[in-house]
Amino acid sequence: MSESEVVRKADKHALAVALADRLIDEVVAAQRARGAAHVVLTGGSMGTALLEALGASDRLDEIDWSAVELWWGDERFVPPDDADRNELQARQALLDRLPLDPSRLHPMAALEDDELDAEAGARQYADQLASAAPDGSDVPAFDVLMLGVGPDAHVASLFPGHPALDVADTSVVAVHDSPKPPPDRISMTLPTLRSARQVWFMVAGPDKAEAVARARGGTDVHDAPAAGVSGADRTIWWLDDAAAAQLT
């Protein structure tokens, strides 16, 4: 398990700009080292802010976008055109303007005509991850896995006290009765989140300050899911001043 670092910026915009800059560095380095970079996106406010900042960066073309594998840590299980969908928000913020290889874009399943339920969607995503994984693993070696953190310290769609937190026999899980709407979701499990080379928590705003302090204070994972995730090589807490306000 890696030691965690804190990178602190004055506000959400400065944080998003710094994140975009570092993501470009990491993706370029991964492409040089291994040909393609595996990046796990997050939904939520900071996930969108990061993509918007990336779109505004004059360094955007440093990345070979045809050699980026884009995954999602979680998804809201709603119709494809529902504004709550993490994939749709990411497409609108940036992805639709990038020269991505469509075969390297890996959205989670959407709710479509009752053809597939969240359980089947989770299995389907686990299969996709396994088919891109190196021998001996059931998930790819993610270069950077990004996570927003909710005011309750949830990450991806793993919520405090929810049974999905304890699922460890599969890489992806269906989540029902989510305390944050929408109720039905698909999420990477804790072991999958922990498998990444780098884990980046990205948090802005005063409503997250208590959750950040609790998660970094070593609280039990069932109380603060963010406390249970770290990267194999590196764990970075990217915080704005408001989110960092309760850190000692």
Ligand X SMILES: O=C1O[C@H](COP(=O)(O)O)[C@@H](O)[C@H](O)[C@H]1O
Among 15, 58, 61, 60, CA closest to 240 = 15
Q: Which residues pair with 45 in a beta bridge?
A: none
Q: What binding mask, one character per residue, do residues 184-223 give for ligand X by CB under 6 A, x or -?
A: ----------------------------------------
Q: What binding mask, one character per residue, do residues 16-55 give for ligand X by CB under 6 A, x or -?
A: --------------------------xxxxx---------
Strands 144-148 and 37-41: what pairing? parallel
DSSP states along 183-207: S-EEEE-HHHHTTSSEEEEEE-SGG
- Give yes or no for a contact between 73 and 42, defined as CB atoms under 8 angstroms apart: yes
CB of 32 to ligand X, least distance (A): 29
CB of 114 to ligand X, least distance (A): 22
Rg for the chain (alpha carbons), in Å? 17
180 is a site residue for ligand X (CB under 6 A): yes
Residue number of the CB atom closest to ligand X: 44
Strands 185-188 and 74-76: what pairing? antiparallel
Distance CA 230, CA 129 (A): 20
Q: In this complex, which beta carbon is closest to ligand X, that of residue 63 or of residue 78?
A: 78
Among 140, 150, 160, 228, binds ligand X (CB under 6 A): 150
Q: In this complex, which beta carbon is closest to ligand X, that of residue 61 or of residue 82?
A: 82
Piece of the chain touching ligand X by CB under 6 A; list 103-111, 118-126, 136-144, 145-153: 145-153
- Give yes or no for a contact between 214 and 100, defined as CB atoms under 8 angstroms apart: no
Q: Give how many residues touch ligand X by CB under 6 A.
A: 14
Q: What binding mask, one character per residue, do residues 103-142 give for ligand X by CB under 6 A, x or -?
A: ----------------------------------------
- Give yes or no for a contact between 219 and 227, defined as CB atoms under 8 angstroms apart: yes
CB of 65 to ligand X, least distance (A): 22
CB of 111 to ligand X, least distance (A): 15
- Give yes or no for a contact between 190 and 229, defined as CB atoms under 8 angstroms apart: yes
Distance CA 63, CA 81 (A): 28
